[in-house]
Amino acid sequence: MEPGQNKPVEVPSRRYGRYLVRSRLGEGGMAEVFRADALDARGEQFPVALKLMRKDVPPEAFADEADLMGLLDHPNLVRLLETGQAFGRPFIAMEFLVGGDLRRLMQAHGTLKRRFPVGIAVYVCIEVLRALSYFHQVRTRSGRPLELVHGDVNPTNIFFSGDGEVKLGDFGVAKARGADIGPQDGITAGKLHYLSPEQTRGEPPLPATDLFAMGIVLHELVVGTHPFLRPEEPDEQAAMAALRAARLSLPDTVDKPLAQVLRRALAPDTATRYRTSGEFAGALFTWALDSGLLPTRQHVQAWLLKTLSYAGL
Ligand SMILES: Nc1ncnc2c1ncn2[C@@H]1O[C@H](COP(=O)(O)OP(=O)(O)OP(=O)(O)O)[C@@H](O)[C@H]1O
């Protein structure tokens, strides 16, 4: 273990800047995240997620994430409230998403021995694709395309509000080809299990790279397993080889039109994959309309509350 890694960030008191820290939510690659309360202009408390940079992380990496969050504004992206520094440590305060992340909901279904409802799975993917469509096309204030790629689409970065809204977060490894933001070329960022064939070859990520990761998430939700990796996958090299080959074999339980969507999203070659998030979302939307399975946000909210309460979360 690197010095300082995985050590909880010390919060000098329960007060952190203008925030009152309530509990620790967890730790990611660069920071620890806390649930805290802030006061609004009328003096009323509201919850925030407070991300505190770890001491061993290069400040530029965290600054890129904060700058990027400040530029982005979309209903399907986690919203930045404030960035700053307190007790010598940079922080990002963002909206608190009370429904937690998709990984937790997938685990809740596993614990309850229930399948993830296919209509909800498709709804979640369409909402994340809306965020990605914005992400891939966003421009700077002066109109220059940023050519952004998220680079870390996976269930731990997909969040739910209490109202059943779906939001993509964690822009820590996002790469802008139109600006000097993100990891250097040749550095493979993102979670191993969600890497695309081109990322395993060390190629720079493209929008199609995010769509491949989205395809993996859709497969996990609809089929219940990862498309290319077995849970007992022996080591990183074997996992990388399986991801690079991206050999897809879908069970008969997946209906034909949805299987076709998965094949296109998970095509090993970027040229045969969906070209844009809009095209991928459109295919899912057509499937949902044809099957009559697209839920409303109220249905998603009811499902969320039921799942969290049944799983005791
Ligand atoms: N805006 C938020 N609202 C509610 N919970 C959040 C929010 N942001 C992060 N969390 C929770 O805080 C914990 C840590 O989040 P973080 O994003 O740092 O870690 P991660 O996603 O597990 O790892 P990585 O950063 O390596 O992707 C997770 O349990 C996550 O669900």
N- to C-terminal Cα separation, the chain:
31
**Residue 175, token pair as written in the block:** 């790469």
Q: Does the pLDDT at position 186 exceed 60?
A: no
CATH of the domain at 65: 3.30.200.20
Locus of tokens 């992400």: 135
Rounded Cα distance, 212 and 199, in Å: 11
For ligand 1, atom 27: residue with the closest CA: 28
Yes or no: say if 168 and 131 are a contact pair by the CB < 8 Å rule: yes
Q: DSSP letter for 237, please.
A: H
At 141-168, the pLDDT tens digits run 888 898 999 999 999 999 999 999 999 9
Domain assignment present for 2 = no
Q: Do 280 and 132 fall within a single domain? A: yes
Q: Residue 51, annotated ligand binder?
A: yes
- C-beta atoms surrounding 11 within 10 Å: 19
Q: What is the mean pLDDT of residues 81-88?
A: 84
Domain that residue 87 falls in: 9-95
276 with 297, same domain? yes
Taking each helix axis from N to C end, the angle separating 118-137 and 277-291, rounded to the nearest 10 degrees, works out to 160
E strand map for 28-138: 31-39, 45-53, 80-86, 89-95, 100-101
Q: What is the pLDDT of residues 207-261, one digit of tens each?
A: 999 999 999 999 999 999 999 998 876 689 999 999 999 999 999 999 999 999 9
> What's 106's domain CATH number?
1.10.510.10
Statement to judge: residues 149 and 88 lie in one domain: no
**Residues 40 and 67 placed together within one structural domain of the fold:** yes
Q: 222 and 293 in contact (C-beta within 8 Å)?
A: no
Give the model confidence (pLDDT) of 273-285 as tens digits. Answer: 999 999 999 999 9
Residue 49 Cβ inside 6 Å of ligand 1? The answer reads yes
Q: From the candidates 64, 101, 152, 210, which is the catalytic residue?
A: 152
Q: Which atom of ligand 1 is nearest to the CA of 30?
A: 25
Tell me how far apart the alpha carbons of residues 110 and 115 are, in angstroms, rounded to a whole number: 8
Same domain, 104 and 70: no
C-beta neighbour count of 304 within 10 angstroms = 23
Is there a domain that residue 4 lies in? no
Number of domains in the chain: 2
Report pLDDT for 126.
98
For position 5, what pLDDT does the model report?
47
Local structure of residue 113 (DSSP, 8 states): T
Q: Please answer whether residues 115 and 68 qualify as being in contact, where contact means their C-beta atoms are separated by less than 8 angstroms.
A: no
Residue 145's DSSP bridge partners are 139
Q: Which protein residue's CA is at the shortest distance from atom 31 of ligand 1?
A: 101
Q: Is residue 123 part of a domain?
A: yes
Active site residue 269: no
Of 43, 75, 95, the one marking the end of a domain is 95
User: How much is the mean pLDDT over the chain?
Assistant: 89
Using a 10 angstrom Cβ sphere, with 0-12 exposed, 13-18 middle and 19 or more buried, the burial of residue 47 is middle
- Model confidence over 5-52: pLDDT tens digits? 455 555 545 887 789 999 999 988 788 999 999 988 888 899 999 999
Provide the Cα torsion 93, 165, 102, 114; round to 10°. Answer: 150
Instruction: Give the helix/strand (H/E) hosting 313.
Output: none
Which protein residue's CA is at the shortest distance from atom 18 of ligand 1?
28
Same-domain status, 89 and 108: no
